[in-house]
Amino acid sequence: MYYEIREIKSRSLQINLEDGKVEKPKYSEFEGKSFRVLKNGFWGYFVGDVNDEDGIKKAERLAIIEGDADVDEKPFSGKLFYKEKKPFDEVDVEDKIKILREIDYYLKENVISRKIVYIETVKEVTIRNSSGGEVTFRVPRCGVIMQAFAKGKTLQFYSDRILKVGGLEVIEKAHEKASEVSEIAVKLSNADAPPSGIMNVVMNPSLTGVFIHEAFGHGVEADHVLQNATVLKDMRGKKVAADCVNVYDDPTIPEFGFFPFDDEGYKAERKVIIEGGYLRNFLNTRETAKKLGGVAGNARAENLAVPIVRMSNTFIDSGDYTLEELLSDAEVILFGSRGGETNPATGYFHFNAQFGYIVEKGEMTKMIRDVSLSGHTLEILKDIKLGKEIEFNPGFCGKAGQIVPVADGGPFALVKALVGGS
């Protein structure tokens, strides 16, 4: 019998500055324990406020069937407390609000409504297992989400966010981004509806990041492979992208998806997903790694939910093209993401950009709004061209009802895809 005990202690502070007013300030604390038992190849899982012995017994009682599950039991030991530069409890809440007011000063230009959401969380996790592993880690995360609403020809909103692992140093330069947010919202309210059809599209780094996360990342999650639910299931070792394409998942980079150990207590490390256009690895939990022959370390859970295969900081590495070179072949350029969704089983993905421009003879001309991009995982990477510098953007990724912090990265990239608009 294999078992794991996971204990979480977390606290968080959220403050909204909405149209200049401090609204819905909230302080939360959470403590809890989960117990997971693998017996006769079947999982029992119990969450509740009980001692270790009772917890394991309760989980064991739920493992009433025989199954074929097995795990890589490798134990890890260690403590890792992420060292932030400016810890949350060394700054008064009044001073945190001052930072938000400064951001608001730049955000309020010419907009009809605006909102800043400030988030700080500190999460401490201890995971012990039956093979003798015991890890403890503490990760602080901080950031602001800025939103501006503007009215011109249409009513529009634009938002941007800075979210990272760390303390208050994360938002030190947030005010520099705030003017850009209000400017874009105002311009967007007078922008036109986009054209539609299959086009050459340049994606900005944040859109390229979402794209690699949605169109590819979900397809290499090994639980999807075992469920026959990804078009990439038989593609390991095969060419799936142009030679220039290299894709990684790296939880050790200090971005929003950072973690030193995963939620099964397995040591985090960089995973090569695509190298030179060849699919190299899937992302694994202890169970999928054992079944498919890979390395575990990508099991994550929202609080005390069952850990499942998740991404961390996923990125497509840089290429050789300048932005000018990419634009010379493009019909539109799209910026930012309002979110996306993919069906790994079929390979169809869809996401919405926040805004874009028509490109004529290599020049950005008319601004466009409410534009979406869709295509197929196995086709779109075949003739992608990549820019020279990568940038990470934070986000919250949902899967099986669980939300975890992630970051996606990439350079400017040229692809052929279906652009939606009227």
Question: Does 25 interact with another protein (rule: CB under 8 A)?
Answer: yes
Q: Which span sits near another protein by CB under 8 A: 119-127, 152-160, 259-267, 274-282?
A: 152-160
How far apart are CB 274 and another protein at their closest, in Å? Answer: 22
Partnered with residue 123 across adjacent β-strands are: 10, 139
Question: Does 396 interact with another protein (rule: CB under 8 A)?
Answer: no
How far apart are CB 128 and another protein at their closest, in Å? Answer: 19
How far apart are CB 375 and another protein at their closest, in Å? Answer: 8
Interface pick for another protein out of 91, 235, 306, 378 (rule CB under 8 A):
306
Which helix or strand (DSSP H or E) is residue 179 part of? helix 174-188
Interface pick for another protein out of 256, 335, 351, 392 (rule CB under 8 A):
351
By C-alpha distance, which of 282, 173, 221 is closest to 404? 221
Interface pick for another protein out of 57, 82, 87, 97 (rule CB under 8 A):
97
Give 280-348 as a DSSP string: ---B--HHHHHHHT-----EE-STTSPPEE--SEEEEPP-SB-HHHHHTT-SEEEEEEEEEEEETTTTE
Strands 77-81 and 134-151: parallel
Question: Does 169 interact with another protein (rule: CB under 8 A)?
Answer: no
Q: In the numeric block, which tokens belong to residue 101?
A: 């007011």
Question: Does 93 interact with another protein (rule: CB under 8 A)?
Answer: yes
Interface with another protein (CB under 8 A), residue total 77
In the chain, the amino acid numbered 379 is E
Interface pick for another protein out of 339, 383, 389, 403 (rule CB under 8 A):
339
Collect all residues with Cβ–Cβ distance below 8 Å to 338 and sequence separation of at least 6: 351, 352, 353, 354
Cβ proximity to another protein: between 376 and 388 the closer is 376
Cβ proximity to another protein: between 30 and 81 the closer is 30
Interface pick for another protein out of 285, 312, 372, 393 (rule CB under 8 A):
372
Cβ proximity to another protein: between 129 and 246 the closer is 129
Q: In the numeric block, which tokens belong to residue 352?
A: 């919405």
Residue located via tokens 């009802």: 401
- Alpha-carbon distance of 195 to 155, in angstroms, equals 19
Q: Which span sits near another protein by CB under 8 A: 92-100, 117-125, 175-183, 268-276?
A: 92-100
How far apart are CB 178 and another protein at their closest, in Å? Answer: 18
Beta strands, E only, 152-294: 155-165, 197-203, 247-249, 271-275, 278-279
- Alpha-carbon distance of 163 to 177, in angstroms, equals 13
- Report the Cα 137 to chain-centroid distance in Å: 20
How far apart are CB 298 and another protein at their closest, in Å? Answer: 17
Site string for another protein, 190-229 (x = CB under 8 A): ------xx-------------------------x--xxxx
How far apart are CB 355 and another protein at their closest, in Å? Answer: 11
Interface pick for another protein out of 3, 88, 118, 157 (rule CB under 8 A):
157
- Alpha-carbon distance of 305 to 308, in angstroms, equals 9
Identify whether the C-beta of residue 410 lies closer than 8 Å to the C-beta of residue 209. yes
Site string for another protein, 31-70 (x = CB under 8 A): xx---------xxxxxxxx--------x--xxxxx-xxx-
